[in-house]
Structure 1
């Protein structure tokens, strides 16, 4: 990963927070995070990422930086459809699989490529009626659709929570092509009771969080204070990454979080609370 300037696209990251609790699969008990793996009698319960697929109108395109996921629990399914979060009730019996009653979805707007991917996936998901799984692979099929998924691991909740994370840099892109730019002092704290707090470098924030699949979602997020012009871009960037749901990877004292469009944040553990 290279140190450099984060480009204009990255710094225009969306600062709004989704009203997540319109989707039952994403909310669970108010204010309480989900912990550990799925507790379900369904053998394929868990979180899956789409690797390829086709629907009634052809291939489901996979946009760079916009994942499509499927989170399955008892009689519920949901996930991220490239841009928006979706959820619905499952009708399952043996290898029969259907989202009865359709889907409930948030209504964000993303890049055209992500919206095209989302539309194709939602159409394909509505057309499947059969499920098959083996190990880390899951397939949904129907007369006009076939979707292939791979299993995802849950986030490292025990390592993530009750630690003061100090922001080190803003990240755009992943792997060797990714760039990182130093950030003004900021912090993030996710507590084990489902509360959160932190700062963006110019504003304090607090709220509540939970785990959905392999992501962390903020279900309540309020900020306090104003930002001087030189920190407004960093403030927007941080809220954009954290506010729409993010994945978290921890290696020793280093935390990497990534939101949509391969926009991320690098934190370093400061202390355990």
Structure 2
């Protein structure tokens, strides 16, 4: 009887472990589930102004809803959202994005949004650093929130 109970527990444990390890992968093998959640900008290319000077009040964020295939976030001033266009490690934000229209002092929002339009691929390292790439150059980096 003890053997039967032990075998049942082991079988249940294996089933749970196999189920929780299941990943969402695309045709080219990229695990897109690592994108899920909210990320905060920690680096952006394309400005002669320091990063901290660009985003004095609020650092930009980006959030991915993989179930709804949507992306949303904040540019450091205005909120945006739109469709998520991701296939493997290829990603594009060139589609139609809805955005609020508040007045934003400084250049931070323009730098963020123009770089976002250039992104064509992504990578995640250590599960907590998201890098957006244009061609072969890392132009934006985010930390998992």
TM-score range normalised by the length of the shorter chain: 0.5 to 0.7
TM-score relative to the length of structure 2: 0.67
Please, which runs of 5 or more residues in structure 2 have no aligned partner? 1-22, 25-32
* Structure 2 equivalent of residue 64 of structure 1: 56
CA offsets 1:138-183 (integer angstroms, 9 cap, x no match) = 000103761000010xxxxxxxxxxxxxxxxxxxxxxxxxxxxxxx
Contact 2:131–2:138 (CA<8 Å) still a contact in 1? Answer: no
| Greater share of residues in helix | 2
CA contact (8 A) 1:90 1:100 kept: no
Let me know the Cα RMSD of the aligned residues: 2.2
Matched, 1:123 2:114: yes
1:43, distance to aligned residue in structure 2 (A): 2.4
CA distance in 2, matches of 1:89, 1:140: 17
From 146, 150, 160, the counterpart of 2:139: 146
Paired residues of 1:76 and 1:87 also in contact (CA < 8 A) = yes
Q: Does the C-alpha gap of structure 1 residues 139 and 60 become closer, same or farther in structure 2, counting only changes over 3 Å?
A: farther
Shift of 1:81: 0.3
- Whose strand proportion is higher, 1 or 2? 1
Residues 99-153 of structure 1, C-alpha deviation per residue, up to 9 Å, x if partnerless? 242321000113x22xx1001100000000001002211000103761000010x
SS in 2 for 1:101: coil
Task: Name the TM-score, length of structure 1 as normaliser.
Answer: 0.37
Counterparts of 2:129 and 2:139 in 1: how far apart (Å)? 13
Please tell me whether residue 45 in structure 1 is matched to residue 36 in structure 2.
Answer: yes
Query: Aligned pair count?
Result: 109
Q: 2:82 aligns with which of 88, 105, 109?
A: 88
| Aligned residue in 2 for 1:73 | 65
